[in-house]
Amino acid sequence: MADGERMYINGEWVLADGGATFDVTNPADGTVVAKVANGAGPEIQRAVTAAHASFSAWSQMVPKDRGRILLKIQALMEERRDELARLVTLENGKPFEEARKEVQFSLGYFGWFAEEARRVSGEWIPSPQPGKRYWVFRQPIGPVAAVTPWNFPATMVTRKIAPALAAGCSVVLKPASATPLTALAIARITEVAGLPPGVFNVLTTNRSRLVGAQLLTHPLIRKIGFTGSTEVGKGIMQAAAKQVTRLSFELGGNAPFIVFDDADFQPALEGAVAMKFLRVGGQSCICANRIYVQRGIAGRFVPAFIEAVKRLKVAPGFEPGAQIGPLINEETRAKVHSLVEDAVKHGAKLVTGGQYLNGDSYAKGFFYAPAVLVDVTDDMAIAQEEIFGPAAPILVFDTEEEVIRRANATTYGLAAYFYTRDLTRLVRVAEQLEYGLVGANDATGYTHEIPFGGFKESGLGREGGHEGIAEYTEVKSVVVNLS
């Protein structure tokens, strides 16, 4: 490993020209886990060239055979699940048990899309005039550039590459510079599974501007799949406008979590704690960001929520029983803390947590005591911005109409949750929330079989479901003249 972890281009494991590397660190203790090849212009060109060259044969392979390779990848990932999970915890920091669940979930995208590949069918349409037929079908869109974030180092990768590969596209993946090791391990598995060289390339780099300038705007790249912040997404959208490159975006969120007076108490309580704190310690785009509690249940719910949060175990990810690991870096921790401080300054009350954790096993990591704030109002930054960390703002409401209006008053629209035992209210609220994913008495998030994506500034397009593979295709209409 002296020369660093290599990236995967055209079926070969290569260093960057000149040998540049960047460090991947463990957010739990600051140690350098690996030095990784730091790609630049020449590697970007080679990766795109490889994806372009391999596209033709891969796209023409029959879907069932592409599916066989994807199923092999799925099986190998499952065999190596704990090994992959170890990498996830090392580079991302999340508790090992959570990392295992992530890897197990992530590999399911290969199974789902291996099957979906066989169902990309078209239509034969009767003509309004005699002597003509219309034939409509989908073709793979072409070489794809995929850019992924650090919070789910396995899932964010498979949720994009599985549908792209299934559709017949080749891929250049640029994983987050904080978490490239899981992506490289997945690449190794695709190699063992027999994916042809060049069909999947992993370009590791921490020079994200270069990626924007040279990979995403490359004329041979036909589609960009991006998951990350809304801010970076907007920049990519502008750059892509130059050649109208197709886009799929999974961006930021500001999820409301609504507890009505008639909610089933225990599931609502457990759902709120889990969706706020137990997905990468709150660093997930679908995490509860604003917890709205109806006045009639607040007196019981809020104290129970605070007690539950006090019992959460914050610890390095490999420590048995760890429930919340470190934040990914100091910048993220400082951002969460500044939102907490700002809320307090504007009249919110911090009832537990909300400090840096420093002693003993915390000393060298980015640990933060899970915070609960009450008396929060909608105009505070903590209710308006994506928190992306272990801080829970609690807001009280009176009526259904009021909470729907308040829940929708954001530029984001990714995920929302609500708990009620009134079936008619369940239907009304689910229909009125302006969000791509709505959990009605449920806080477990999406699954492979359903489309996932955001309304408004939370994204474009969908991942998963039938829609997930369609995103990597173009529709072609053929006019057949029989006369």
Residues lying near ligand NAP in the complex (CB under 6 A) are found at 147-151, 156, 174, 176-178, 206, 208-209, 211-212, 227-229, 232, 235, 250-253, 285, 386, 388, 414, 454, 459
Alpha-carbon dihedral sign for residues 422, 426, 429, 431: negative
CA dist 289 to 15, 17, 255, 256, 257, Å?
41, 43, 5, 6, 7
Looking at the Cβ atoms of 122 and 451, the one nearer to ligand NAP is: 451
Whether 98 is a known active-site residue: answer no
Give which of 391, 392, 416 is closest to 406, Cα–Cα.
Answer: 416
How far apart are CB 352 and ligand NAP at their closest, in Å?
Answer: 25
In whole angstroms, the minimum distance from the beta carbon of 67 to ligand NAP comes to 25
Say if CB 197 and CB 10 are below 8 A apart: yes
Position of minimal CB gap to ligand NAP: 228
Q: Where are the alpha helices (DSSP H) in 219-294?
A: 230-241, 265-277
178 or 298: CB nearest ligand NAP: 178
Distance between first and last Cα of the chain: 67
Nearest residue (CB) to ligand NAP, 151 versus 182: 151
Report the nearest approach of ligand NAP to the CB of residue 153 (Å).
11
Inter-CA distances, 273 with 46, 147, 350, 400, 435, Å: 46, 30, 17, 22, 21
Element (H, E) at 304: helix 295-310
Q: Which one of the listed residues 43, 98, 285, 457 is annotated catalytic?
A: 285
Nearer to ligand NAP, 260 or 366 (CB): 366
Instruction: Between 102 and 386, name the residue whose CB sits nearer to ligand NAP.
Output: 386
Which residues does 430 contact at the CB level (< 8 Å), separation at least 6? Answer: 418, 438, 440
CA distance 413 to 405: 13
Task: Supply 55's token pair.
Answer: 């596209």
For ligand NAP, the closer of residues 45 and 229 by Cβ is 229
State the minimum distance, in angstroms, from the CB of residue 253 to ligand NAP: 5
Least separation in angstroms between residue 225's CB and ligand NAP is 11
Q: What are residue 374's DSSP bridge partners? A: 349
- 169: annotated active-site residue: no
The one catalytic residue in 250, 386, 400, 471 is 250
Least CB distance to ligand NAP at residue 266 (A):
29
* Residues designated catalytic: 250, 285
